[in-house]
Structure 1
Amino acid sequence: MDIAEQLSIEEQGLKQQLHDTWCAGNYSSVARTLEPSALQFLARHPVRAGAMVLDVACGSGQVALPAARAGAKVWGIDIAGNLIEEARGHAEQEGLAARFEVGDAESLPYGDNSFDQIYSVIGAMFAPRPERVVAELTRVCRPGGEIVMANWTPEGFVGHFFKTVARHVPPPPMPSPLMWGTESRVRERFAERPVDLHFDRQLFEFRYPYTPEEVVGFYRQNFGPVVRAFAALDAAGQAALHADLVQLWRDYNLADDGTTHTQGEVLEIVAVPQ
């Protein structure tokens, strides 16, 4: 039985909503701005040469492709087919040992104990059923392997970004993805799994060569959740959301030269199955 048959009508509708959200705009252009931080993440949690590596909710490959360049055998999976096609194109151009496919973090199409290392950087945290994500990540990771995640925290800039959007457009009916950035909640989610857990907090950098107002325009055009939020509002609602987002970027801007620089806090999680 495939996942579509297992889900209720309501759950299928939610899955479709999430799919449409992450296919909207051009997320890879947003992800590229975070590539330096993604590479720093990989430096903190290095890929083992020759390892079997899975990148869950891989987007267009900002983690999977560097992992393949480091000598790993890489699989990447994401619900957004447009991003998977882009990742495949990059892998083919470079001749990398990386395979990308459309799929669901809650129903991974791989056998038990298939991977030495599993990564999910600002990805699987957006799946609607976290208990299924935990079950699948621990199922496909070999004992003694690593499950490594980086998730936005509720307290950081990105947490406030999503809360700002949610004040104007109700979020989908699912647990807040930001709970993946809370250590106590992550411990609860892995509590019934035989894993050793380790946590660290790091900062991802957002740097744009334009003003906060121009940054909001960039996100309005390219970042799926913002694209969809603006599309759901009338003209007055769009103006109000725009003003609040501009103010948020101004409040967190560390630059004073007409550009925009802020930092988003992530909770980095390392789970080692026993």
Structure 2
Amino acid sequence: MSALKARLKATWMAGDYGHFARYLEAGAMDFFPALGIGPGTRVLDVACGAGQLALPAARVGAAVTGVDIASNLIDQARARARAEGLAIRFDEGDAEELPYDDAAFDVVFSLIGAMFAPRPERVAAELIRVCRPGGRIVMGNWTPGGFVGQMFKATAKHVPPPPGMPSPVLWGDEATVRERLGGGATDFRVARRMYPLEYPFPPADVVDFFFTYYGPTNRAFAALDAGGQAALRSDLEQLWSEHNRADGGGTAVAAEYLEVAATRA
């Protein structure tokens, strides 16, 4: 497990997720109202990346903490917060072993983040543990059948995931999420949402963008020889092109995710 964790950390530190996530900000702000936070709310952003939701939460007056396994992203998040004069605590840490006291937060959330940890039962237990009774746990997770789920499946044909690691997109299955969180949470509200993936360049360039900046795709591409790289590129370009709804040379794809909100029992 320690070797797997080191590999996963290296994966998320590869590329530049902070730059990559700039094109995800519109979808993140669509998700933001689900958090239901305001001034003084004690908030924990699990797998916070470079702060795309931690910063908006602090802007509305919440007391925000962000945690992520990738130390370079924590550095980026801290720099962004300093530049805006926002008092946010950012910690390097593991979603399976959160470095916080029991019941420390009013809202614990993760958007497209905690779903990638290798032991989901530990993630669920930690999200519950650090949330106060009556507080809220909120997640946004890619679904198995949505566009990103299809992209992961296409990539796994060329670079299989680590053995024994459950698929991250199982967090996007309603029955699975209810089972994982059901031991410590109640009052589930679940909805399927569409996340806008929009780029001002064509699908082939989007694939290159993922290869360059998105850690998991970057590492998958690097693990292949020239022939494998060409095959993976071809499959991903076809997938993006088939789902593209943009005119004028850009790319616009709607990716389904599961929005989950529950109350800590």
TM (norm. structure 1) is 0.94
1:98-137 equivalences under 5 Å are 98-137=88-127
> Tell me, what secondary structure is at the counterpart of 2:193?
strand
CA–CA distance in 1 between the matches of 2:27 and 2:181?
A: 26
| Structure 2 length-normalised TM | 0.98
Q: Is 2:188 the partner of 1:197?
A: yes
Aligned residues between the structures: 264
Task: Tell me the CA shift for residue 46 of structure 1.
Answer: 2.7
The correspondence of residues 1-274 of structure 1 with structure 2, limited to 5 A, is 11-173=1-163, 174-274=165-265
**Structure 1: tracts of 5 or more residues without a match:** 1-10
Aligned partner letter, 2:168? P
RMSD: 0.9
Is contact 1:149–1:269 with CA below 8 Å preserved after alignment? yes
Cα deviation 1:86-132 (Å, max 9, x = unaligned): 00001111111211010000001110110001110000000000100
Whether the 8 Å CA contact 1:72–1:97 is kept in 2: the answer is no
Q: Is the 8 A contact 1:25 1:223 kept in 2?
A: yes
| Cα distance, 1:194 vs structure 2 | 4.2
Structure 1 residue 40: Cα displacement:
1.4
Counterpart residue identity of residue 267, structure 1: L
Question: What is the CA-CA distance between 1:271 and the residue it aligns to?
Answer: 1.5
Task: Write out per-residue CA displacement over residues 110-162 of structure 1, whole angstroms, 9 at most, x where no aligned residue.
Answer: 10110001110000000000100111110010111111100000111000010
Residues 128, 181 of structure 2: 8 Å contact kept: no
Residues 67 and 92 in structure 2, CA contact (< 8 A), matched pair in contact too:
yes
Instruction: Find the counterpart in structure 2 of residue 6 from structure 1.
Output: none
Q: Secondary structure of the equivalent of 2:162?
A: coil
* Amino acid in the other structure paired with 1:130: P
2:33 and 2:130 map into 1 onto residues whose CA distance is 23
Q: Distance in 2 between matches of 1:158 and 1:147?
A: 23
5+ residue gaps, structure 2, are: none
